[in-house]
Amino acid sequence: MIMKCPHCYERVFPKQDNTCPSCGKNVLDTTEDMECYDLVELKDKQKLPEICFVCGESTKNKAKISYSRKYGSKDYLIVKLIVLIFSPIIFLFSLIANQNRRFAKIKVYMPICGQCSKKERPEPKYINYDNYSICFIVHKNFKDAFVNVNSNNIGK
Ligand SMILES: [Zn+2]
Ligand SMILES: [Zn+2]
């Protein structure tokens, strides 16, 4: 039976001993805290709600997260993080790859409140450079609002 792994938030078929094939942890080993989170996949030109993706409270703060990667050196990853307290930005995500795809850059403005930005460092769960998408583990409130503001884009 497909279920959401409470550790990595992937949809998985748990193995016979109830471990997650993706992260190797026991899927039955949950806490209530984990129920509040889900995985969201962000793509270019998607709107993000003004909701802190960590705690689910409304916020106008945003953290700019940018990643660069050179092809051929997989470990080369630059992370820059700046917390912005500016007005909302409509298109919050951009990913640039040049024609011969030797270099990729992702920039995303994740809404995060002042409180959370002090203690949490927004880390994407993973980046898919081929799909131009980036996955974050987010609060359910954020996910719901995200689905709402992008509901015109259903079907991608
Ligand atoms: Zn897992
Ligand atoms: Zn927060």
Question: Hey, what are 114's tokens?
Answer: 């002042």
Global pTM value? 0.70
Q: What total of structural domains would you count in the chain? A: 2
Q: Which residues form the domain of 83? A: 32-153
Share of the chain above pLDDT 90, in %: 26
| Listed residues: CB within 5 A of ion ligand 1 | 5, 7-8, 20, 22-23
The end-to-end CA distance of the chain, in Å, is 26
Residues 53, 70 within the same domain: yes
Ligand nearest to the CA of 116: 2
By mean pLDDT, which of 34-38, 67-71, 133-137 is the weakest? 67-71
Say if residue 22 is in the same domain as residue 98: no
Same domain for 3 and 44?
no
**Do 13 and 37 share a domain, yes or no?**
no
Quote the ligand 2 centre to 140 CA distance (angstroms). Answer: 12
Report which bound ligand comes closest to the CA of 30: 1
- Alpha-carbon distance of 66 to 93, in angstroms, equals 10
Q: How far is the CA of 71 from the centre of ligand 2 (A)?
A: 34
Please indicate, yes or no, whether residues 141 and 66 belong to a single structural domain of this protein: yes
pLDDT at 154 over 80: no
Q: What pLDDT does 79 receive?
A: 43
125, 97: one domain? yes
What sign results for the dihedral spanned by CA atoms 39, 42, 46, 49? positive
Q: 71 or 3: which carries more pLDDT confidence?
A: 3
